[in-house]
Amino acid sequence: MIGAILAVALAAIVAVMIAAGTGSDMSSGPWPMLLLVGYIGLPVVFLMIVTFLVTSARRRRAPRDGER
């Protein structure tokens, strides 16, 4: 899931960069939505990675059966 969101966000950013380089009108069509996907997707991926790391560390340190 993290990889898919990252791939979509990066593809959106690349598409916007290519469209801006070719001189497309960035105020209409799919470009505003693609900008939003790129701007929101990367921070969401970062938060998901941090959450994954925290939960993994907590599981690893959790007491097992027979231990304190």
Q: Which residues contact 8 (CB under 8 A, 6 or more apart)?
A: 37, 41
The number of folded domains in the chain is: 1
Is residue 54 domain-resident? yes
Is residue 7 domain-resident? yes
Is residue 36 domain-resident? yes
Q: Which residue range is the domain that position 8 belongs to?
A: 2-61
The pTM (predicted TM-score) of the whole model is 0.78
Is residue 67 domain-resident? no
Q: What's the pLDDT tens digit per position in 22-45?
A: 988 888 889 999 999 999 999 999
The pLDDT score that the predictor gives to residue 26 is: 86
Is residue 68 domain-resident? no
Is residue 46 domain-resident? yes
CA distances to 26, 36, 57, 59 from 52, in Å? 35, 24, 9, 11
